[in-house]
Amino acid sequence: MGPRENDRLSKDWAARNKTLQQITEEFAEILPPKAWLREDRNISRLAERLSVSSKKVRRILRNVEFLRQG
């Protein structure tokens, strides 16, 4: 991604009045579920691949209703 692409993205974010935290959360709702399916639904493998804790992966998957709560 080049400087022009970064500039375009930052303008898009500013136009939508979203914070970086909101954008990060939206991204987190997209990437982990798709990667989880690709990793044969193995949470620990996905956590290692994304360099985050298994607890965080479970929370994200629960939030997008890929995992049942309980």
Q: Which of 41, 64, 44 is nearest to 52 (CA)?
A: 44
27: number of Cβ within 10 Å: 10
Q: Which two tokens stand for residue 65?
A: 């209703």
Q: Regarding predicted confidence, which is higher, 10 or 63? A: 63
| Cα 38 to Cα 25: distance, rounded to the nearest angstrom | 20
pLDDT at 4: 66
Q: Look up residue 24 and give its two tokens.
A: 């990060």
pLDDT tens digits for range 25-39? 777 777 778 888 888
38: tokens are: 């690709």
What residue segments make up the domains of the chain, in order of their start? 19-70
pLDDT tens figures, 2-54: 566 667 666 766 667 777 777 777 777 777 788 888 888 899 998 898 888 89
Instruction: Report how far Cα 31 is from the mean position of its chain's Cα atoms.
Output: 4
